[in-house]
């Protein structure tokens, strides 16, 4: 079993100045012979980066969209325009909820998917809506949904809403899904934004699988974390002895600084173009 993750696009540029960075996330994941695209960034520029990194997107088996925010699904239409629909799409059951962000009193901005469900049908894209607690792609690759929210320190962002008819309700991110890969008796967890809370996610996975977590990779949404949440998260990760902490996108400068200090040797500040191999 081998795992390789190539970061096709991310907020930060990284060492390769030929690559484009943007506020968003897209990861190309190879698990043995299985090829997965996890999120598609904001603009579709991840496709240009893939070409420069010699990543052949036409051979994808799966596209997984972690949740229905534009900076994770915005490049999907361009991907379909480029390679067609030879892959299977995997999303959470509530992926097409009409997501909005509160800008001020009674002022909302749409920040959901730039395409609707009709686009999937028109392009004959095979799709799986995840509503199971655990959905297995194969015996080594799993997707988790219905994350249990038990920690009082991981509060939902009160600026994110879902519009239902003419009413705006706080977004509880029922659409958010998380990828996990088995590696020699451990799990490697891949995250989109962790809107429901990083510790909530990891505790849910630990409870459902009873398997230790070797590494985590992706967005952790600690950009808005107060001191209690940040310290509680650090204590949890320390207690679980997670060996790879590859964090990016919505993690935030303050959290990155703290993790660099506390987790020397295991922390990776992931940037556009980064490649990691785990065996």
CA atoms within 13 A on the CB side of 249: 26
- pLDDT score for 1: 78
pTM score of the predicted model: 0.97
- pLDDT score for 118: 97
pLDDT in tens, 168-203: 999 999 999 999 999 999 999 999 999 999 999 999
pLDDT in tens, 48-60: 999 999 999 999 9
- Distances from the Cα of 147 to the Cα of 12, 27, 90, 116, 174, angstroms: 28, 22, 17, 25, 8
8 A C-beta contact, residue 85 and residue 76: no
Which residue ranges make up each domain of the chain? Answer: 3-278
Domain formed by 3-278, architecture: 4-Layer Sandwich (3.60)
- Distances from the Cα of 186 to the Cα of 31, 56, 148, 183, angstroms: 14, 28, 21, 5
SS3 (DSSP) at 70: helix
Q: Across-strand partners of 38?
A: 27, 64
- pLDDT score for 18: 96
Per-residue confidence band for 112, with pLDDT thresholds at 50, 70 and 90:
very high
The share of the chain scoring above pLDDT 90, in percent, equals 95
- pLDDT score for 279: 80
């Amino acid at each position: 079993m081998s795992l390789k993750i190539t970061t096709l696009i991310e907020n930060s540029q990284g060492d390769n100045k030929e690559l484009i960075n943007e506020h968003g996330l897209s990861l190309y994941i190879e698990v043995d012979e299985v090829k997965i695209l996890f999120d598609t960034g904001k603009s579709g520029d991840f496709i240009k980066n893939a070409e420069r990194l010699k990543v052949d997107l036409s051979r994808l088996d799966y596209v997984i969209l972690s949740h229905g925010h534009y900076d994770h699904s915005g490049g999907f239409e361009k991907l379909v325009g480029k390679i067609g629909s030879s892959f299977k799409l995997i999303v959470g059951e509530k992926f097409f909820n009409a997501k909005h962000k509160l800008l001020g009193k009674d002022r909302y901005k749409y920040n959901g998917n730039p395409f609707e469900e009709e686009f999937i049908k028109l392009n004959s894209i095979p799709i799986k809506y995840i509503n199971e607690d655990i959905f297995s792609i194969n015996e080594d690759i799993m997707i988790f949904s219905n994350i249990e929210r038990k920690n009082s320190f991981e509060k939902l962002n009160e600026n994110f809403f879902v519009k239902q008819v003419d009413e705006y309700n706080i977004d509880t991110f029922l659409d958010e899904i998380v990828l996990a890969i088995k590696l020699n008796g451990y799990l490697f967890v891949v995250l989109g934004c962790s809107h429901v809370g990083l510790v909530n996610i990891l505790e849910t996975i630990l409870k459902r699988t009873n398997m230790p977590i070797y590494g985590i990779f992706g967005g952790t949404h600690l950009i808005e974390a107060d001191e209690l949440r940040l310290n509680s998260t650090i204590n949890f990760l320390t207690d679980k002895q997670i060996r790879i902490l590859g964090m990016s996108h919505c993690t935030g400068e303050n959290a990155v600084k703290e993790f660099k200090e506390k987790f020397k040797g295991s922390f990776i500040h992931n940037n556009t173009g980064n490649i990691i191999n785990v065996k």
